[in-house]
Amino acid sequence: MSSVTKHITEYKLAKEILTRGHDILLDPRAQVMKTFTQHGTTTVFEHCVSVAKFSLLMAYYLERIFKIKVDRDSLVRAALLHDYFLYDWHDKTIPGHNIHGFTHPRTAMLNADRDFGLNAIEKDIISKHMFPLTFMPPRYRESVLVTLADKWCALCETFKVDVSSYIIYRVNCRIEMANNGLQDEGAAAEQAI
Ligand SMILES: [Fe+2]
Ligand SMILES: [Fe+2]
Protein backbone atom coordinates (compact mmCIF):
# COMPACT_ATOMS: atom_id res chain seq x y z
CA MET A 1 0.00 0.00 0.00
CA SER A 2 1.39 3.42 -0.92
CA SER A 3 1.88 5.93 1.89
CA VAL A 4 -0.80 8.21 0.40
CA THR A 5 -3.90 6.52 -0.96
CA LYS A 6 -5.84 8.07 -3.86
CA HIS A 7 -9.16 8.23 -2.08
CA ILE A 8 -9.98 7.99 1.58
CA THR A 9 -12.98 6.02 2.81
CA GLU A 10 -14.33 4.85 6.14
CA TYR A 11 -13.29 1.34 5.13
CA LYS A 12 -9.69 2.36 4.48
CA LEU A 13 -9.49 4.35 7.70
CA ALA A 14 -10.83 1.38 9.66
CA LYS A 15 -8.38 -1.00 7.98
CA GLU A 16 -5.45 1.28 8.70
CA ILE A 17 -6.39 1.65 12.37
CA LEU A 18 -6.80 -2.13 12.64
CA THR A 19 -3.45 -2.65 10.93
CA ARG A 20 -1.32 -0.11 12.75
CA GLY A 21 -3.01 -0.47 16.14
CA HIS A 22 -3.99 -4.13 16.22
CA ASP A 23 -1.69 -5.06 19.11
CA ILE A 24 -3.20 -2.30 21.26
CA LEU A 25 -6.81 -2.87 20.21
CA LEU A 26 -6.63 -6.61 20.88
CA ASP A 27 -4.89 -6.22 24.23
CA PRO A 28 -7.25 -6.78 27.21
CA ARG A 29 -5.44 -4.00 29.09
CA ALA A 30 -6.51 -1.47 26.44
CA GLN A 31 -10.02 -2.92 26.36
CA VAL A 32 -10.39 -1.94 30.03
CA MET A 33 -11.11 1.52 28.55
CA LYS A 34 -14.46 0.08 27.46
CA THR A 35 -15.54 0.09 31.11
CA PHE A 36 -15.15 3.86 31.53
CA THR A 37 -17.38 6.60 30.14
CA GLN A 38 -15.72 9.52 28.39
CA HIS A 39 -18.30 12.00 27.03
CA GLY A 40 -22.08 11.44 26.96
CA THR A 41 -22.65 7.73 26.33
CA THR A 42 -19.29 7.20 24.61
CA THR A 43 -16.75 4.96 26.32
CA VAL A 44 -13.10 5.95 26.60
CA PHE A 45 -12.25 3.07 24.21
CA GLU A 46 -14.71 4.30 21.57
CA HIS A 47 -13.45 7.86 22.00
CA CYS A 48 -9.86 6.76 21.40
CA VAL A 49 -10.83 4.85 18.23
CA SER A 50 -12.69 7.93 17.02
CA VAL A 51 -9.69 10.19 17.71
CA ALA A 52 -7.47 7.75 15.79
CA LYS A 53 -9.86 7.99 12.83
CA PHE A 54 -9.89 11.79 12.65
CA SER A 55 -6.14 12.02 13.28
CA LEU A 56 -5.58 9.72 10.30
CA LEU A 57 -8.08 11.65 8.19
CA MET A 58 -6.20 14.91 8.81
CA ALA A 59 -2.87 13.15 8.16
CA TYR A 60 -4.24 12.01 4.81
CA TYR A 61 -5.04 15.57 3.72
CA LEU A 62 -1.76 16.91 5.14
CA GLU A 63 0.14 14.38 3.03
CA ARG A 64 -2.08 14.64 -0.04
CA ILE A 65 -2.39 18.43 -0.27
CA PHE A 66 0.70 19.80 1.45
CA LYS A 67 3.07 16.84 0.89
CA ILE A 68 3.90 16.82 4.60
CA LYS A 69 4.89 13.36 5.86
CA VAL A 70 3.26 11.98 8.99
CA ASP A 71 4.46 9.12 11.18
CA ARG A 72 1.22 7.19 10.93
CA ASP A 73 2.29 4.35 13.20
CA SER A 74 3.03 6.73 16.06
CA LEU A 75 -0.10 8.73 15.23
CA VAL A 76 -2.46 5.76 15.44
CA ARG A 77 -0.80 4.11 18.44
CA ALA A 78 -0.75 7.30 20.51
CA ALA A 79 -4.29 8.28 19.47
CA LEU A 80 -5.52 4.89 20.67
CA LEU A 81 -3.71 5.38 23.99
CA HIS A 82 -4.08 9.13 24.51
CA ASP A 83 -6.71 8.69 27.25
CA TYR A 84 -5.27 5.51 28.79
CA PHE A 85 -5.65 6.95 32.31
CA LEU A 86 -7.69 3.93 33.50
CA TYR A 87 -10.14 5.40 36.02
CA ASP A 88 -13.64 6.89 36.01
CA TRP A 89 -13.00 10.61 35.82
CA HIS A 90 -16.68 11.28 36.65
CA ASP A 91 -16.21 9.68 40.08
CA LYS A 92 -16.10 12.61 42.48
CA THR A 93 -14.57 10.46 45.24
CA ILE A 94 -11.31 10.04 43.28
CA PRO A 95 -8.58 12.37 44.60
CA GLY A 96 -7.76 15.02 41.99
CA HIS A 97 -11.11 14.55 40.23
CA ASN A 98 -11.44 18.32 39.77
CA ILE A 99 -8.11 18.66 37.97
CA HIS A 100 -8.48 15.59 35.74
CA GLY A 101 -8.26 17.78 32.63
CA PHE A 102 -4.80 18.95 33.64
CA THR A 103 -3.38 15.72 35.05
CA HIS A 104 -4.71 12.83 32.95
CA PRO A 105 -2.39 13.32 29.92
CA ARG A 106 0.66 12.54 32.03
CA THR A 107 -1.13 9.65 33.79
CA ALA A 108 -2.15 8.20 30.42
CA MET A 109 1.38 8.59 29.04
CA LEU A 110 2.97 6.82 32.02
CA ASN A 111 0.39 4.00 31.91
CA ALA A 112 0.80 3.56 28.14
CA ASP A 113 4.60 3.57 28.34
CA ARG A 114 4.49 0.98 31.12
CA ASP A 115 2.10 -1.37 29.26
CA PHE A 116 2.97 -0.84 25.59
CA GLY A 117 6.24 1.09 25.40
CA LEU A 118 6.25 4.48 23.66
CA ASN A 119 8.64 6.33 21.39
CA ALA A 120 9.37 10.06 21.77
CA ILE A 121 6.63 11.12 19.36
CA GLU A 122 4.02 8.93 21.06
CA LYS A 123 4.98 10.32 24.48
CA ASP A 124 4.63 13.88 23.20
CA ILE A 125 1.27 13.15 21.55
CA ILE A 126 -0.24 11.70 24.70
CA SER A 127 1.24 14.11 27.24
CA LYS A 128 0.32 17.24 25.21
CA HIS A 129 -3.09 16.23 23.83
CA MET A 130 -4.95 18.56 26.19
CA PHE A 131 -3.00 21.64 25.08
CA PRO A 132 -3.48 24.48 26.05
CA LEU A 133 -4.36 22.93 29.45
CA THR A 134 -0.97 21.18 29.44
CA PHE A 135 0.82 24.56 29.01
CA MET A 136 3.69 23.04 26.98
CA PRO A 137 2.73 23.10 23.27
CA PRO A 138 2.88 19.97 21.08
CA ARG A 139 6.36 19.37 19.64
CA TYR A 140 5.47 17.21 16.64
CA ARG A 141 2.95 17.57 13.82
CA GLU A 142 1.47 14.23 14.92
CA SER A 143 0.80 15.74 18.37
CA VAL A 144 -1.04 18.68 16.80
CA LEU A 145 -3.24 16.32 14.76
CA VAL A 146 -4.28 14.28 17.81
CA THR A 147 -4.89 17.45 19.84
CA LEU A 148 -7.25 18.76 17.15
CA ALA A 149 -8.96 15.39 16.58
CA ASP A 150 -9.49 14.98 20.33
CA LYS A 151 -11.32 18.30 20.60
CA TRP A 152 -13.48 17.58 17.57
CA CYS A 153 -14.45 14.13 18.84
CA ALA A 154 -15.19 15.47 22.34
CA LEU A 155 -17.53 18.05 20.79
CA CYS A 156 -19.37 15.45 18.68
CA GLU A 157 -19.68 13.04 21.61
CA THR A 158 -20.95 15.73 23.96
CA PHE A 159 -23.67 16.72 21.47
CA LYS A 160 -24.34 13.06 20.51
CA VAL A 161 -23.35 13.47 16.86
CA ASP A 162 -22.44 10.08 15.41
CA VAL A 163 -19.18 10.37 13.48
CA SER A 164 -17.42 7.07 14.13
CA SER A 165 -19.93 4.26 14.62
CA TYR A 166 -18.77 2.32 11.52
CA ILE A 167 -15.12 2.26 12.63
CA ILE A 168 -16.05 1.37 16.18
CA TYR A 169 -18.22 -1.46 14.79
CA ARG A 170 -15.31 -2.75 12.67
CA VAL A 171 -12.92 -2.62 15.62
CA ASN A 172 -15.34 -4.50 17.85
CA CYS A 173 -15.89 -7.12 15.12
CA ARG A 174 -12.12 -7.56 14.85
CA ILE A 175 -11.80 -7.99 18.61
CA GLU A 176 -14.67 -10.49 18.62
CA MET A 177 -13.09 -12.46 15.78
CA ALA A 178 -9.72 -12.48 17.52
CA ASN A 179 -11.38 -13.71 20.70
CA ASN A 180 -12.83 -16.56 18.64
CA GLY A 181 -9.52 -17.35 16.94
CA LEU A 182 -10.60 -15.95 13.57
CA GLN A 183 -9.03 -13.40 11.18
CA ASP A 184 -10.68 -10.83 8.94
CA GLU A 185 -9.30 -8.96 5.98
CA GLY A 186 -7.90 -6.30 8.31
CA ALA A 187 -5.65 -8.85 9.92
CA ALA A 188 -4.72 -10.34 6.56
CA ALA A 189 -3.71 -6.89 5.34
CA GLU A 190 -1.33 -6.35 8.23
CA GLN A 191 1.57 -7.62 6.15
CA ALA A 192 0.46 -5.61 3.12
CA ILE A 193 0.81 -2.12 4.61
FE1 LIG B 1 -7.83 13.38 27.26
FE1 LIG C 1 -9.45 12.36 24.48
DSSP state of 148: H
Instruction: State which CATH number among 3.40.1350, 1.10.3210, 3.40.50, 2.60.40 fits the domain covering 10-191.
Output: 1.10.3210
Measured from the alpha carbon of residue 109, the closest ligand is 1
Distance from Cα 153 to the centre of ligand 2, integer Å: 8
The pLDDT, as a whole number, for residue 96 is 80
Q: How far is the CA of 181 from the centre of ligand 2 (A)?
A: 31
Distance from Cα 101 to the centre of ligand 1, integer Å: 7
Which ligand lies nearest the alpha carbon of 154? 2
Confidence of residue 187 (pLDDT cuts 50, 70, 90): low
Nearest residue to 20 (alpha-carbon basis) of 62, 61, 68, 52: 52
DSSP assignment of 149-172, as one string?
A: HHHHHHHHHHTT--SSHHHHHHHH
Q: Which ligand is nearest to the CA of 44?
A: 2
- Could you tell me the residue ranges of all domains in the chain? 10-191
Per-residue model confidence as pLDDT tens digits over 58-85: 999 999 999 999 999 999 999 999 999 9
User: Which ligand sits closest to the CA of 157?
Assistant: 2
Task: Tell me the CA–centroid distance for residue 127 and ligand 1, in Å.
Answer: 9
Digit-coded pLDDT (tens) for 84-135: 999 999 998 888 888 999 999 999 999 999 999 999 999 999 999 999 998 8
Measured CA to CA, the distance from residue 151 to residue 50 in angstroms comes to 11
Distance, CA 42 to ligand 2 centroid (Å)?
A: 11
Distance 17 CA to ligand 1 centre (A): 19
